[in-house]
Amino acid sequence: MKLICASVALLSAGASAFSINNGLRPTTTALSASGGKMSVRPLGIGSAAPQTVITNFDLETVHDTSDEWIRTRTGIQERRVLVHDGTRSVIEKTKDGDEVDAETPENLRTLGIEAAQAALSMSGIDASDIDLVICATSSPDDLFGDAPTIANAVGCDKSRYAAFDLTAACSGFLFGIVTASQFLSNGNGMKNALVLGADALTRWVDWDDRNSCILFGDGAGAMVLSSENNGDDDGDGFGVLGYAMHSNGAGHKDLKCIYRGEPKTISTPGDGTIVHDGSYDLMTMNGRKVYSFATREVPNVLQEALDEAGISVDDVDHLLLHQANIRIMEVVAERLGMPMEKVITNLYKYGNTSAASIPLALDDAVRSGRVKKGDVIACAGFGAGLSWGAAILKWG
């Protein structure tokens, strides 16, 4: 999928599902894509979170704050964080196809492996039948991408799959679902995809800033999508029913993590050449502007996706938003005319896990029996870029 400024062009391998926003929507954006149903079905979901928990009470010993102050303003009670020298027992496939259970460093890759394995198990699809692996992340263990190593670890057949990372911050998992669905529905022979959302933003949080460090946690989630009917006669109603995606780089200053290189002189002829040793600044966020952006744009983009799906708010069983702040969820639900009883959230125990937040919450809801086969789920992600998007899914 290739997206160019909407005033110029929008190209895609499966271009028929895309449309350009020409100002007909109430939302103004530098770039947008939307479309209706694609013949794919979400069949499995999985998640994993670090073992270390930091509660609001723990943070009371670090900052002048309180559990009550954090809970009432954010809805968060605790968060999971990756720690230095943490370990985790992970089962990986060897090149000979054998399974090895080993104690390995607990990092984003190992969380991704565990989440992917759980999603594959629920879906009933073998890893060797996966054609595409997308890892949505802004904080990979490997700057060059974690998707290929996760795919290899879970046993994907190296002779048949493609794997790559996708960066769209907190919108990443939703953008990944749409991207994978395009590949599965455009007739290129791909049938099964594994989409991950995984982030470790606590690595880039300023722990000296009480307003931001309270918000974030780490985690990974994964979903298996398939274009195969698998014998179901009611398959015409399943899959991605509609979607809309937007971005506007004019707002990037409100939520960013900027490259910062340290100067390093190498002894080339003459005075030498000053290059960079790479690093990044800590994440910065204008909370008021991001809140205003989210509460303004998320209801609009959800309505846009519902219009593409040809259904109304009344047809939605569950509302699943990026787990950033409970107040944002309350405002969005109210503006859509949906009761909070329909909102899926586990924000209180994970915090904002960026691209992982939607699959983490959906995994809880599916495994608890709250989300059942045939349920319609309106999902929306929003965050840095600025980026925002929505997809209407029918589970099962």
The residue annotated as part of the active site, out of 21, 186, 325, 352, is 352
pTM: 0.89
pLDDT over 80 (residue 257): yes
Q: Is 213 a catalytic residue?
A: no
The residue annotated as part of the active site, out of 135, 170, 257, 379, is 170
Q: Average the pLDDT over 305-323 and give the result.
A: 97
Compute the mean pLDDT over every residue in the chain, rounded to the nearest whole number. Answer: 89
Q: Of the given ranges (191-200, 216-225, 229-238, 287-296), which has the lowest mean pLDDT?
A: 229-238
When pLDDT is cut at 50, 70 and 90, the band that residue 159 belongs to is confident
Radius of gyration of the chain (CA): 21
How far is 44 from 195, CA to CA, in rounded Å? Answer: 10
% of the chain with per-residue pLDDT over 90: 71
Q: Dig out the tokens for 42 from the structure.
A: 């979400």
Question: SS3 of 325, please?
Answer: coil
In this prediction, residue 286 carries a pLDDT of 87
Q: Is 135 a catalytic residue?
A: no
pLDDT over 70 (residue 7): no
Q: Is 170 a catalytic residue?
A: yes
The residue annotated as part of the active site, out of 322, 325, 346, 379, is 322
Using CA atoms, how far residue 367 sits from 44, 118, 173, 363, 370, in Å, is 10, 11, 19, 6, 8
